[in-house]
Amino acid sequence: MTKADIDAAFVEFERVQKSYDGVTLVVKDLNLSLPKGEFLTMLGPSGSGKTTCLMMLAGFETATHGEIRLAGRPINNIPPHKRGIGMVFQNYALFPHMSVAENLAFPLEVRKLDKAEREAKVMRALDMVQMGKFGGRRPAQLSGGQQQRVALARALVFEPELVLMDEPLGALDKQLREHMQFEIKRIADRLGITVVYVTHDQTEALTMSDRVAVFDDGRIQQLATPDELYERPLNSFVAQFIGENNTLTGVVTEIKGETCNVKLDSGDIIDAKPVNVTKVGDRTKVSIRPERVEFNKARLRPDAHTLKAEVLEFIYMGDIFRTRLRVAGHDDFVVKTRNASDQVRLQPGTTIDIGWMPEDCRALDA
Amino acid sequence: MTDATQETSGPIVAADGRPLRQSLNRALRRQKIRALLLIAPLLAFIMVSFVIPIGDMLFRSVENQIVPETLPRTTALLGDWDPDLGEPPPEAVFAAFYTDLVLAEERKLHTRLGSRLNYENSGVASLFRATGRDVGRFDTDIYTDQLVAAVPDLEDGAKWAGWMAEPPVRDALPQTADAYDGWAQMVAEVHNADPVTRQPADFVFAALYRDLAAGAAPPPPLDVDVGGFETVSIRDQFAASDPKWLDTGVWRTMRAYAGPLTNGYFLNAVDMMKSADGPRVRPENERIYLTLFLRTMKMSLVITGLCILLGYPVAWILANLPLRSANLLMILVLLPFWTSLLVRTSAWKILLQQQGVINDLLVGIGLVGDGSRLELINNSTGTIIAMTHILLPFMILPLYSVMKTIPPSYLRAAKSLGANDWTAFWRVYFPQSAPGVGAGSILVFILAIGYYITPELVGGTKGVFISNRIAFHISSSLNWGLAAALGTILLVMVLVLYWAYDKLVGIDNVKLGG
Ligand SMILES: Nc1ncnc2c1ncn2[C@@H]1O[C@H](COP(=O)(O)OP(=O)(O)O)[C@@H](O)[C@H]1O
Ligand SMILES: [Mg+2]
Q: For residue B207, how many other CB atoms are within 10 A of its CB?
A: 28
Tens of pLDDT, residue by residue over A227-266, are: 999 999 999 999 999 989 999 999 999 998 888 999 999 8
- Summarised one tens digit per residue, pLDDT across range A192-225 is 999 999 999 999 999 999 999 999 999 999 999 9
Contacts of B438 in chain A (CB under 8 A): none
Q: What integer pLDDT is reported at residue A228 of this predicted model? A: 93
The CATH number of residue B320's host domain is 1.10.3720.10
| Whole-number Å distance between alpha carbons of B360 and B351 | 9
Question: Do residues B98 and B48 share a domain?
Answer: no
CB of B395 within 8 Å of a chain A CB? The answer is no
Contact B269, B489 (CB under 8 A): yes
Q: Is B278 left (phi over 0), alpha (psi -120 to 50) or beta?
A: left
**Is the same domain home to B147 and B124?**
no
CA dist., res. A273 & res. A255, Å (int) = 9
Residue A292 has a CB neighbour count (10 Å cut-off) of 15
Whether B276 maps to a domain, the answer reads no
pLDDT: which is higher, B121 or A361? A361
In this structure, of A11-15, B12-16, B47-51, B350-354, the range with the lowest mean pLDDT score is: B12-16
Q: Does residue B432 sit in the same domain as residue B295?
A: yes
Largest CA distance in chain A: 76
- pLDDT tens digits, residue range B238-294? 888 888 888 888 888 888 888 888 888 888 888 888 776 778 888 888 888 998 999
Q: What is the pLDDT of residue B256?
A: 84
Are residues B153 and B116 part of one domain?
Answer: no
Res B513 pLDDT > 60: no
- Ligand 1 binding pocket (C-beta < 6 A) is A 20, 26, 44, 46-52
pLDDT exceeds cutoff 60 at A4: no
The pLDDT-based confidence of B1 (bands split at 50, 70, 90) is very low
Closest by CA position to A89, among listed A4, A164, A185, A30:
A164
Above 60 in pLDDT, residue A325? Answer: yes
Q: Are B26 and B17 in contact (CB under 8 A)?
A: no
pLDDT at A139: 95
Q: Please give the backbone phi and psi of residue A271, each rounded to the nearest 5 degrees, phi first.
A: -95, 145
* Residue B437 located in a structural domain: yes
A281: left (phi over 0), alpha (psi -120 to 50) or beta: left
End of a domain among B215, B231, B247? B231
Residues B367 and B487 in one domain: yes
Whether B479 shows a pLDDT value over 90: the answer reads no
The span from the CA of A189 to the CA of A207, in Å, is 14
Picking from B103, B164, B119, the residue whose alpha carbon sits closest to that of residue B473 is B119
A89, B397 Cβ separation under 8 angstroms? no
Q: Are the C-beta atoms of A270 and A288 separated by less than 8 Å? A: no
Task: Please compute the mean of the pLDDT values over residues B356-381 and round it to a whole number.
Answer: 87
Residue A252, C-beta contacts closer than 8 angstroms, at least 6 positions apart: A260, A261, A262, A274, A277, A279, A280, A281, A282, A283, A284, A363
| B274 found inside a domain | no
| Cβ neighbours for B29, distance < 8 A, ≥ 6 positions apart | none
pLDDT at residue A39 tops 90: yes
Q: Tell me the pLDDT tens digit for each residue of B70-118.
A: 888 888 888 888 878 888 888 888 888 888 888 888 888 888 888 888 8
For residue B269, tell me if it sits in a domain: no
Give the integer Cα–Cα distance in Å for A311 and A345.
11
Cβ neighbours of residue A185 closer than 8 Å, sequence gap 6 or more:
A39, A207, A208
Single out the residue in B212, B231, B250 at which a domain terminates. Answer: B231
Question: Does the pLDDT at position B510 exceed 80?
Answer: no
Judged against a pLDDT cut of 60, whether residue A6 lies above it is answered with no
Indicate whether B219 and B331 sit together in one domain.
no
Domain identity same for B496 and B478: yes
Domain boundary among B245, B262, B279: B262
Q: For residue A346, give Cα distances in angstroms to A292, A312, A316, A333, A356.
A: 16, 9, 11, 14, 17
Contacts of B183 (CB under 8 A, 6+ apart): B103, B195, B200, B201, B203, B204
The predicted model scores a pTM of 0.77
Contacts B415 to A, Cβ<8 Å: 59-60, 79-81
B329, part of any domain: yes
Burial state string for A142-178 with b = 16 or more CB within 10 A and e = fewer than 16: beebbbbbbbbbbbbbbebbbbbbbbbbeebeeebbe
DSSP B511: -
For range B16-40, the mean pLDDT: 87
Task: Say if residue B227 is in the same domain as residue B242.
Answer: no
- Measure the CA–CA gap between A86 and A58, rounded to whole angstroms: 9
Q: Closest Cα partner for A66 from A9, A8, A19, A7?
A: A19
Domain count for chain B, please give it: 4
Q: What CA–CA distance (Å, rounded) separates B177 from A24?
A: 105
Spatial separation of the C-alpha atoms in residues B251 and B248, rounded to whole Å: 5
Atom of ligand 1 nearest to the CA of A167: 21
Residue B446 lies in a domain: yes
What pLDDT does B130 receive? Answer: 85
Asked if the model's pLDDT at residue B330 lies above 70, the reply is yes
Q: B76 and B157 share a domain?
A: no
Q: Which amino acid makes up residue B111? A: T
Residues B230-239: tens digit of each pLDDT:
888 888 888 8
Our CA angle for A180, A181, A182, nearest 5°, is 90
B282 is a domain residue? no
Residue B503 or residue A334, greater confidence = A334
pLDDT in tens, B35-82: 999 999 999 999 899 899 889 888 989 888 888 888 888 888 888 888
Say if residue B3's pLDDT is above 80: no
Could you tell me which of B376, B381, B382 has the C-alpha nearest to residue B363? B376
User: For residue A2, what pLDDT band results from cuts at 50, 70 and 90?
Assistant: very low
State the DSSP H helix or E strand holding residue B273, giving kind and residue range, or none if neither: strand B272-273
| Structural domain contains residue B270 | no
What is the domain extent for residue B435? 289-509
Q: Residue B7's pLDDT band (boundaries 50, 70, 90)?
A: very low
CB contact under 8 A, A110 and B419: yes
Name the residue in chain B with its Cα closest to that of A82.
B418
Are B416 and A158 inside 8 Å of each other by CB?
Answer: no
Residues B157, B256, single domain; the answer is no
Could you read off the pLDDT of B396-423 as tens digits, one per residue? 999 999 999 999 899 999 999 999 999 9
**Rounded-to-integer distance, Cα B392 and Cα B441, Å:** 10
The string of pLDDT tens digits covering residues B425-455 is 999 999 999 989 988 998 899 999 989 888 9
Residue of A nearest to B407 (CA): A93
Q: What's the gap in Å between the CA of B367 and the closest CA on chain A?
A: 39
- Could you report the per-residue pLDDT of A152-201, keeping only the tens digit for each? 999 999 999 999 999 999 888 889 999 999 999 999 999 999 999 999 99
**Who among A84, A91, A110 is closest to B409 (CB)?**
A91
Chain A 149-168, residues with CB within 8 Å of chain B CB atoms:
154-155, 158, 164
The number of angstroms, rounded, from the C-alpha of A250 to the middle of its chain's C-alpha atoms is: 29
pLDDT at residue number B511: 65
Question: Do B121 and B149 belong together in one domain?
Answer: no
Give dist(CA A97, CA A111) in Å, integer. 20
Whether residues B129 and B158 fall in one domain: no
